[in-house]
Amino acid sequence: MNPSWQKGYSTKSVYLQTPFHQGIGYVNLRINAAMIQVQNVSKHYGELVAVDNISFQLEKGDVLGFLGPNGAGKTTTMRIITGYMPPTKGSVYISDIDVFEDPQAAKSHIGYLPENPPLYEDMVVREYLDFVADIKQVPNREKNGRIHYVMEKCGIVNVGKRIIGHLSKGYKQRVGIAQALINDPEVLVLDEPTSGLDPMQIIEIRELIKGLSGERTVILSTHILPEVTMICSKVVIINKGKIVLEESLERLTNKIDGIENILLKTRYWGEEIQEKIISLPNVSDIRLGLSNELIIEPKKGVDIREDLTDLVMQNGWGLLEMRPVVHNLEEVFLRAISTEGN
Amino acid sequence: MKGVYPILKRELRSYFASPLAYVILVVFQLVSAMFFFLNLKGFLHLQFDPSYQLLREELNLNTVIIIPYFDTMSIVLLFIIPLITMRLLADERKSHTAELLFTSPIKLRSIILGKYLAALILLIIMLCLSSLNIVVLMAHGNPDLGVVLSSYLGLLLLGASFLAIGIFASSLSSSQLVAAVIAFGILLLLWLVGASSDTESSIFGYISLISHFKNFGKGIIELKDLAYYLSVIYIGLFLTHTALDSERWR
Ligand SMILES: Nc1ncnc2c1ncn2[C@@H]1O[C@H](COP(=O)(O)OP(=O)(O)O)[C@@H](O)[C@H]1O
Ligand SMILES: [Mg+2]
């Protein structure tokens, strides 16, 4: 372990070094230490910059939705975090261990489900988990217990004696998740865990992942947006190797609420409606919706519904409908990846 | 060196879970037995030849059966070893398990060593089975045991060098077939280099895999031959390590 203060970079961690059982040594008490720190990480494949100066950090218990279109650099970033390959620039710390200075120590904190589950098709499920437990250096006396636990947790007890190559895709994915959990990792990295599954399997796997978070720090990549709202507590959106948005889901939702647009439908229809509305003090933009309704964007954080009603009443336009339009994540996502470069 | 054993165990289990290992063992055994008994037959015929009595000194069990037998075996290994090593690393890529291995807390060299040792064990099983031929001979004559044992040591070292080159070839591709072809190509090249230069003192004679085998066949164990094979093994494994490492460093 290389505590951060010795290396001269800053974390939110506070260290207390206390003599503990005199003569035995020192124990580090970490308070609110970052579990994962990604610092200015870049990865170049020849000319191609797959990951471009990415930084973020996750606390214990965070569930990060790592979102981005195909080719955004999600897999590459995850491979760097898990120590599969080194970054061209930058560094990654897992629980304050530099992944590339002490890979053995860092890797023992991580469970990783790559994009394609890493399965030996000719092995029996239980035998496979036994092997993974061995290479992840699970102590012998805990091994059977761990294997039993992950099989139970992932719902694969009934296929324990089957050959992996004969399992359905959904079951293979479960075995893949089970292998990632075998060493009871503090950090769980899942690369598109629901891709290629049928809708029923997707729901099952999401439930499974939800049940895994809690104490663990989870990074989950996906290009499916609702997945993030369902499972995650934090979102990082990445496009063309760059982070375009980083937010806690809570704040993201608030932010969306704050700039909530108003949909307005009136009986009367005329050019001057738009002009009059845009001249209201708290309206920042107005545009036409799909079926000729007006979408009005208020200034940030201002409720303009009363002003709008008054205006419609005064002019006798005949109010048919007025409601807030809920921004969904999809809109945020599309906006984030389209304003990239600004 | 933690982690060598689980890798080795899985690899051996995987060899014997597929028909490949059995096919290789059976084919090797049949081919070696066939060559052995052809040599034996030739020797028996020879004894009825009137001129045999004159050459009795040169034409004995060892020169007619044992030495040619081990020479043939070394060539058979050249063909069979690429089949043993081809899947070792190529398959890890194909099944995406490379990501599991390389993100687990064991060192790359333990992974390579575990796999290499598994292949070596298969080779040893192969050689042990083929020694049945010699046992048959011992029941009916008295071959020079010193020559037999040193030949086996030579064959083991030769095979172990082939394996190291084979595992390197397997680290270069995700296709088993390509890996086998590369291994075979390198082995053949290193073999022919020796055949084309008859002086052992030349550089080609030195790097040739086969020229160092000759002494073992005569019952002579020399340090320089031992050192040669051990260096080939080391270089093969080292190159494998470099190939796997640099691929991810690119
Ligand atoms: N091994 C590789 N060699 C060269 N280019 C690569 C390699 N892996 C990924 N890339 C490229 O890097 C970019 C990011 O890929 P990736 O991280 O797989 O994205 P994502 O997982 O978000 O779909 C893509 O343009 C991809 O083609
Ligand atoms: Mg990907």
State pLDDT tens for residues B130-176: 888 888 888 777 778 888 899 999 999 999 999 999 999 999 999 99
A74-78, B1-5, B12-16, B178-182 — which is least confidently predicted? B1-5
Q: Which residues pair with A294 in a beta bridge?
A: A264, A288
pLDDT at A214 over 80: no
The pLDDT assigned to A257 comes to 56
pLDDT at A162: 96
The contacts of residue A71 (CB under 8 Å, 6+ apart) are none
Are A91 and A233 in the same domain? Answer: yes
A15 is a domain residue: no
Pairwise CB contact (< 8 Å): B105 & A86: no
Which CATH number goes with the domain that contains A154? 3.40.50.300
CATH of the domain at A274: 3.30.70.100
Quote the tokens at residue B20: 């490949």
Residue A51 lies in a domain: yes
Does position A279 have pLDDT exceeding 90, yes or no? no
Please report whether residue A73 resides in a domain.
Answer: yes
If asked whether residues A247 and A139 sit together in one domain, one would say yes
Top mean pLDDT of A123-137, A238-252, B28-42 is at A123-137
- Average pLDDT taken over every residue of chain A: 83
pLDDT at A94: 94
In this structure, the answer to whether residues A231 and A266 fall within a common structural domain is no
| Helices A169-181, A125-135: crossing angle, 10 deg rounding | 30
Chain B residue numbers touching A48 (CB-CB < 8 A): none
**pLDDT at site A11:** 41
B64 pLDDT higher than 50: yes
- Can you give the pLDDT at residue A202? 86
Residue A185 above 90 pLDDT? yes
Q: Which helix (H) or strand (E) holds B240?
A: helix B223-249
Mean pLDDT computed over A79-108:
94
* Cβ within 8 Å of residue A167, ≥6 positions away: A125, A159, A175
Going by C-beta distance under 8 Å and a sequence separation of 6 or more, which residues neighbour residue B2? Answer: A137, B106, B110
Stretch among A30-34, A235-239, B244-248 having the lowest mean pLDDT: A30-34
Are A217 and A58 in contact, with CB atoms under 8 Å apart?
yes
B87-100 burial, b if ≥16 CB within 10 A, otherwise e?
bbbbbbbebbbbbb
Q: Specify the 3-state DSSP secondary structure of B30.
A: helix
More confident residue, B67 or B9: B9
Q: Are the beta carbons of B72 and B35 closer than 8 angstroms?
A: yes
B223-249 vs B108-140: helix crossing angle, rounded to 10: 150
How much of chain B exceeds pLDDT 70, in percent? 91
In chain B, residues with a C-beta closer than 8 Å to the C-beta of A114 are 96, 99-100
Question: Do both A52 and A100 map to the same domain?
Answer: yes
Banded pLDDT at A241 (limits 50, 70, 90): very high
State whether A295 and A277 are in the same domain. yes
A21 within some domain: no
To which residue do tokens 């053949």 refer?
A: B188
Contact B99 A114 (CB under 8 A): yes
Q: Which pLDDT band holds residue A1 (cuts at 50, 70, 90)?
A: very low
B201 part of contact set with chain A, CB < 8 Å: no
Query: Where is average pLDDT lowest: A271-285, B48-62, B174-188, B226-240?
Result: B48-62
Is A50 within the bounds of a domain?
Answer: yes
Q: Does residue A33 belong to any structural domain of this protein? A: no
Which structural domain, as residue segments, surrounds residue A260?
256-326
Average pLDDT (B51-62) is 70
- Determine the pLDDT at residue A23: 41
Separation in Å, CA A299 to CA A110, A281, A284: 45, 9, 5
Domain count, chain A: 2
**Which of A103, A127, A129 has the alpha carbon at shortest distance from A117?**
A129
A159 lies in a domain? Answer: yes
**Domain presence at residue A184:** yes
Q: Tell me the per-residue pLDDT of A14-35, one tens digit each, with 9 for 90 and over.
A: 444 444 444 444 444 444 468 9
Specify whether A82 is located in the same domain as A185. Answer: yes
Give Cα separations from B131 to B29, B70, B136, B157, B159 (angstroms). Answer: 9, 11, 9, 16, 15
Residue A77 to residue B75: CA distance in whole angstroms: 48
DSSP secondary structure of A136-162: TT--HHHHHHHHHHHHHHTT-GGGTTS
Q: Could B99 and A84 be called an inter-chain contact, meaning their C-beta atoms sit closer than 8 Å?
A: yes
Residues flanking ion ligand 2, Cβ below 5 Å: A 74-75, 115
**Mean pLDDT, residues A228-253:** 83
